[in-house]
Amino acid sequence: MMRKFLFTLPTMALIAFPVGAEPSQQEVDAARSECRDAFLARDAEAYMNAAASMIAWGSLQNVDWSREVELCLAFAEAIEGASLDTARERAAGLSDGIGPTSAPLSVATAPHAEAPAADTRLADYLSRIEADGADVEAIVREIAADTTFAPPPSPERDALEAALSAYVRPIPAAQAERNHIAYQALVRVSTENQTYIDKAAGYEQAIEAEREQLQRTARALEGRLVRTTAEFDGSSWARHPSSPRFQDIRNYVTLYLIEDGTGQKTMELFFNYTSRSGWLFVESASINIDGETTQVPVGQWFRDNDTEIWEFASTRGDAAVALARKIADADRAVIRFNGQQFYDDYVVSDGDKRVIREMVAMWEVISAE
């Protein structure tokens, strides 16, 4: 829409104001600053005053100054309450020496409220995303969440758009969440780009479809769990049919559904270390999720063996579900089993993450009932 204004609004605005006295460079600079500050602050009154000053100049001989007028007038559509008709009326008052508030007004002497602070977000985002070692993904998320960020056209905006495009380009289409956030950020930077708008909407639909499919799977999963029930008190634990059946097969992390004899249910996040070459004597474990390392919040580690050995520990409740969700959503999660003298790392497989993701979804369904 702005492109339309660039060609039509200035012509309409200046028809009523023939060539007048050329403004000085100082007046042009002052009016340009007032117009852009008003646009960034979405201040309709300040904007109409700045636009009136420019309209009152009439047709300008200086091509660069004419473009500044065109750009200012194009902002009208983006500011709620701004009216170019009102600005033209105020411009007529300026040419008569009356001014928009029945008092003499000029660029240099017009009384007005203190100018809002300059919006530095564009420069800030650009400098951060171009810095060495920048956490680009975090910056992209921040831009996507910044609902009031809408920078006007400029070389800096083009540079930020290029950086975001370079970030999103290699992301696989299957990673709908990351793509959605990246295209949301691009829409913030270039609101008129229909390709970005369509991409963001498409990935949002994909995320919703995936969520609905996961919920359907979750509702069906509880009946398919492999359940072991204690004869003595009726308590039970149940595992996903795709989770390991035996502990001595491999390293893994998984979720179990635990139910006591009274029917109370909870989730247990279970960590298992297996070796055929000897004991590690695990004392603790840590987990690195997409570069962020934390301690695994478990208590005592237990051990058992036959022809192989296995060492294991678990944690239950809300903290277990929260950590499980982070593991399932991670691009890369690595568990480090810390032994008495050595350690061993396990990169969580996509299969384990899928199992955890489905168990978490199942838990959200049954715990809400």
Task: Rank 169-178, 228-237, 341-350 by mean pLDDT and report only the highest.
Answer: 341-350
271 shares its domain with 337: yes
- SS3 state at 106: coil
349 shares its domain with 252: yes
Final residue in a domain of this structure, among 162, 193, 219: 219
- DSSP labels for 15-40? HTS-S-PPPPHHHHHHHHHHHHHHHH
Final residue in a domain of this structure, among 173, 192, 219: 219
234 shares its domain with 323: yes
Q: What is the CATH number of the domain that holds 241?
A: 2.60.40
> Per the domain annotation, does 282 fall within a domain?
yes
137 shares its domain with 215: yes
Encode pLDDT of 18-29 as tens digits. Answer: 445 578 888 888
Final residue in a domain of this structure, among 186, 219, 252: 219
131 shares its domain with 212: yes
Beta-sheet strand order (sheet of 302-305): 226-229, 236-239, 252-259, 265-275, 309-316, 302-305
Total number of domains in the chain: 3
> Per the domain annotation, does 356 fall within a domain?
yes
| Percent of the chain predicted with pLDDT > 70 | 87
44 shares its domain with 141: no
250 shares its domain with 312: yes
> Per the domain annotation, does 15 fall within a domain?
yes
Give CA–CA dist 272/251, Å, rounded. Answer: 5
Grade residue 117 by pLDDT with cuts at 50, 70 and 90: low
229 shares its domain with 363: yes
| Percent of the chain predicted with pLDDT > 90 | 41
286 shares its domain with 320: yes
Encode pLDDT of 44-99 as tens digits. Answer: 888 888 888 888 888 777 777 777 787 788 778 778 888 888 888 888 776 555 44
> Per the domain annotation, does 304 fall within a domain?
yes
CB 356 within 8 A of CB 287: no
Query: Which range marks the domain in which residue 138 is found?
Result: 121-219
Is the model's pLDDT at 6 over the cut of 70? no
> Per the domain annotation, does 348 fall within a domain?
yes
Least confident of 19-33, 109-123, 132-146: 109-123
Residue whose tokens read 């998320």? 141
Tell me what percent of the chain is helix, strand and coil, each rounded to the nearest 5: 50, 15, 35
272 shares its domain with 359: yes
Grade residue 311 by pLDDT with cuts at 50, 70 and 90: very high
CB 321 within 8 A of CB 294: no
188 shares its domain with 149: yes
**What mean pLDDT value characterizes the chain?**
83
Q: Give the burial string for 263-276 (b: 16+ CB within 10 Å, else e).
A: eeebbbbbbbbbbe
What's the pTM value of the predicted model, to 2 decimals? Answer: 0.49
248 shares its domain with 294: yes
